[in-house]
């Protein structure tokens, strides 16, 4: 049991000094990791080839991963010690106030916490001062001493209050000491030079435990409900030590907080990525296995680094929430003059397919854009739960608008964050919605004052966007663009009215039958509203390739729905998207309305 005298004499500065030491170790590990990833690995990949070079890259990556682990664990130790000091100081203040009150009243506080008080008041019989005594805490603060004829000495109640406060501070400090001692004992690494996934799993548990303990110290100050601009200002106002502690203990929250600079989010999310991989490693449920494959592929690409001529990757968001979240930027969106945000649609989730194919769409977009202006960045934004296909377009047909509306609110916050952190006075921002993602972009334009900072909107493979006219999207119809491949059946899905009238009677039937019978036969209403490629909608339709037919000699194919961004399979579409995303829409190749 911690005594009140030990609590009084505790030197919290020593705890904070130890925390600073662990912080320096964490920073050195971070510097070493950065040197490995930014200098050694890049130089080795650019100058060496062959098996020996590949082996060296693998070993350097392992070393970098080890330094990352040291950075994480030392950061957790620093925050644990600072949080311990913070809580102990709170109890020291409570104790000091009680001792000061005792001194002012000329009471004596004994080593066991009891409090002696002097004679005071008047006896009821002879009027003589009532003798003093000693009050001791019975274990529960706030005990009311006897009153009336039994113990009317006015000092008794005051002494009892002081005794309870002294004992309460000592008990709370003892509980804090016990709790943090357990955490610190568990913050240790396994022996050896490797950091396997099992160790990262332990690190994820360590981080969660420190987060719980440091709630009052750090977590309560994170401005979750603030605007992105307010979050930017909050981060700018922190000391370097405070920033480092938030990154060590709350990488998941800082990394996914719109309004935080891209470089900071990237650093936080790379750490959180390792923690998530450790968390999901060994689980055998379908969701965990699927997400783990996606996380590993993103980790592989981050570790491989950018190829010559390609911009670096920035991990702006990562989470296992819902079907998974991942936001990846090619190029720094805070420094680029042109930033496009691609929103994927139906059947997209955090899996290996997203990590390979959806990220490639953003990469293809930025490569085309940088041909026109090197100051360009492109983002793949999986910040919501898109509908998951069960049997093809049946799922799209029955998909409601709730996920698009929720995704629209999140997209609205994200683009507000891009505006808040971009260093250019008036960056050119483009929102690109593909498939159901076009409905999500459409929903975002109807939130508040519309999509913050967005100058141009592009829809490809769209089943409708939730409004019937381009002018209703808030950027002016001259800044709304649409690409719709002739053989993309999603762009010809029937309207809900057609379904109600029986045009889609076979909705629950085989996929080919549904597509063949349900495709819009000349009507310009789609499932989510007016066809964006129609003249009545009023957008600028740009030229795209027709795409492969639904049925051919090689079999059944819906590839026409997924090749808009690919410069090899649909050069016309990819070129037009690159022009729009760099503010050169006057140069696009147009196509007649449907």
pLDDT digits (tens, 9 = 90+) for 70-98: 888 888 898 899 889 989 999 999 999 99
**CA–CA gap between residue 71 and residue 275 (Å, rounded):** 13
Two tokens at 209? 């435990």
The rounded distance, in Å, linking the Cα atoms of 396 and 363 is 26
Q: Of 364-373, 388-397, 481-490, which range is least confident?
A: 388-397
β-bridge pairing 480-483 and 540-541: parallel
Helix axes 197-213, 262-280, angle to 10 degrees: 120
Among candidates 450, 430, 432, which has minimal Cα distance to 336?
A: 430
Residues 6 or more apart from 294 whose CB is under 8 A from it? 324, 326, 349, 350, 351, 352, 354, 355
CA distances from 533 to 460, 565, 571 (A): 9, 18, 19
For the record, the structure tokens of 274 come out as: 């390792």
Give the integer Cα–Cα distance in Å for 149 and 489.
93
Of the two residues 281 and 235, the one the predictor is more confident about is 235
- Mean pLDDT of the 479-508 span: 70
Q: What percent of the chain has pLDDT over 90?
A: 59
Question: Which phi and psi (to 5°) does residue 526 adopt?
Answer: -110, -175
In this prediction, residues 32-37 reach a mean pLDDT of 86
CA distances from 462 to 315, 358, 440, 493, 562 (A): 27, 16, 11, 9, 11
Can you give the pLDDT at residue 511? 42
Confidence class of residue 143 from pLDDT cuts 50, 70 and 90?
Answer: very low
CA within 13 Å, CB half, 378: 27
Return the half-sphere exposure (C-beta side, CA atoms, 13 A cut-off) of residue 295: 28
Give SS3 for 382. strand
Q: Model-level pTM? A: 0.80
Mutual orientation of helices 402-421 and 228-236 as an angle, nearest 10°?
40
Reported as a single tens digit per residue, the pLDDT across 440-477 is 999 999 998 899 999 999 999 999 999 999 999 999 99
Q: What is the DSSP string of 472-526?
A: GGSS-GGGEEEE--TT-GGGGPPPHHHHHTTTTTTTTS-HHHHHHHHS-SS-SEE
What are the start-end ranges of the E strands in 101-217? Answer: 108-109, 115-117, 133-135
Give the confidence band of 49 by pLDDT, cuts at 50, 70, 90.
confident
**How crowded is the C-beta side of 593, counted as CA atoms within 13 Å?**
14
Q: Quote the mean pLDDT of the chain.
A: 86
- Determine the Cα–Cα distance for residues 209 and 179; give it in Å rounded to an integer: 10
Q: Is 243 helix (H, G, I), strand (E, B) or coil?
A: helix
Q: Would you state the pLDDT for residue 187?
A: 82
Three-class SS of residue 78?
helix
Q: Which of 367-376, 420-429, 457-466, 518-527 has the lowest mean pLDDT?
A: 518-527
Between 12 and 391, the more confident residue is 12
Tell me the backbone φ, ψ of residue 432, rounded to 5 degrees: -120, 115
pLDDT band at 381 (very low <50, low <70, confident <90, very high): very high
Angle 384-390-394 from CA coordinates, rounded to 5°:
95
Cα–Cα distance between 441 and 415 in angstroms, integer?
11
CA distance 436 to 528: 9
Q: How many residues are recorded in the chain?
A: 594
Higher pLDDT residue, 472 or 151? Answer: 472
Half-sphere exposure of 393 (CA within 13 A, CB side): 29
Q: Out of 183-197, 345-359, 425-439, 449-463, which region has the weakest mean confidence (pLDDT)?
A: 183-197
Q: 481 and 580 in contact (C-beta within 8 Å)?
A: yes
Compute the distance between CA of residue 17 and CA of residue 520 in angstroms, rounded to an integer.
71
For the segment 58-75, the average pLDDT, to the nearest whole number, is 87
Query: So what's the pLDDT on residue 398?
Result: 45
For the segment 212-221, the average pLDDT, to the nearest whole number, is 72
Residue entry with tokens 């995704």:
407
């Amino acid at each position: 049991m911690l005594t009140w005298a030990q609590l009084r004499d505790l030197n919290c500065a020593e705890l904070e000094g130890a925390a600073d030491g662990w912080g320096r170790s964490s920073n050195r590990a971070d510097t070493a990791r950065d040197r490995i990833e930014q200098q050694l690995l890049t130089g080795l990949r650019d100058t060496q080839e062959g098996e020996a070079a590949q082996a060296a890259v693998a070993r350097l990556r392992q070393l970098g991963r080890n330094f990352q682990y040291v950075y994480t664990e030392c950061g957790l130790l620093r925050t644990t010690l600072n949080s311990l000091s913070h809580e102990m100081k709170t109890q020291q203040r409570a104790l000091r106030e009680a001792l000061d009150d005792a001194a002012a009243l000329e009471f004596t506080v004994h080593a066991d916490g009891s409090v002696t008080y002097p004679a005071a008041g008047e006896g009821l019989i002879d009027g003589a001062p009532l003798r003093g005594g000693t009050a001791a805490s019975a274990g529960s603060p706030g005990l009311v001493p006897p009153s009336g004829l039994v113990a009317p000495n006015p000092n008794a109640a005051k002494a009892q209050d002081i005794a309870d406060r002294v004992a309460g501070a000592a008990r709370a400090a003892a509980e804090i000491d016990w709790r943090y001692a357990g955490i610190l004992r568990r913050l240790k690494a396994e022996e050896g030079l490797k950091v396997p996934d099992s160790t990262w799993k332990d690190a994820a548990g360590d981080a969660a435990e420190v987060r719980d303990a440091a709630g009052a110290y750090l977590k309560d100050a994170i401005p979750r409900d603030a605007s992105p601009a307010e979050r930017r200002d909050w981060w700018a106002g922190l000391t370097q030590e405070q920033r480092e502690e938030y990154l060590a203990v709350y990488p998941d929250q800082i990394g996914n907080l719109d309004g935080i600079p891209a470089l900071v989010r990237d650093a936080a999310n790379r750490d959180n990525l390792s923690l998530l991989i450790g968390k999901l490693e060994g689980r055998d449920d379908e969701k965990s296995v699927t997400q783990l494959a996606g996380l590993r592929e993103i980790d592989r690409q981050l570790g491989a680094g950018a190829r010559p001529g390609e911009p670096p990757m920035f991990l702006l968001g990562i989470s296992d929430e819902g079907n998974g979240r991942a936001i990846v930027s090619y190029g720094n969106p805070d420094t680029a003059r042109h930033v496009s945000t691609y929103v994927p649609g139906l059947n997209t989730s955090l899996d290996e397919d997203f990590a390979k194919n959806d990220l490639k769409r953003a990469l293809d977009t930025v490569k085309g854009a940088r041909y026109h202006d090197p100051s360009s960045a492109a983002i793949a934004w999986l910040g919501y739960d898109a509908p998951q296909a069960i049997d093809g377009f049946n799922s799209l047909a029955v998909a409601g608008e709730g996920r698009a509306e929720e995704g629209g609110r999140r997209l609205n916050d994200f683009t507000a964050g891009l505006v808040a952190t971009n260093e250019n006075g008036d960056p050119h921002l483009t929102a690109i919605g593909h498939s159901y993602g076009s409905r999500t972009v459409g929903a975002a334009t109807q939130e508040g004052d519309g999509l913050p900072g967005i100058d141009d909107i592009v829809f490809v493979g769209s089943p409708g966007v939730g409004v019937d006219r381009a002018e209703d999207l808030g950027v002016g119809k001259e800044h709304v663009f649409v690409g719709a491949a002739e053989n993309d059946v999603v762009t010809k899905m029937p309207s809900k009215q057609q379904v109600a009238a029986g045009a889609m009677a076979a909705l629950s039937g085989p996929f080919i039958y549904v597509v063949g019978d349900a495709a819009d036969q000349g009507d310009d209403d789609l499932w989510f509203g007016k066809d964006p490629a129609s003249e009545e909608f009023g957008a600028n339709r740009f030229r795209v390739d027709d795409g492969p037919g639904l049925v051919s000699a090689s079999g059944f194919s819906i590839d026409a729905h997924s090749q808009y961004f690919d410069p090899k399979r649909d050069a016309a579409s990819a070129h037009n998207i690159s022009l729009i995303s760099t503010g050169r829409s006057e140069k696009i190749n147009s196509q007649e309305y449907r």
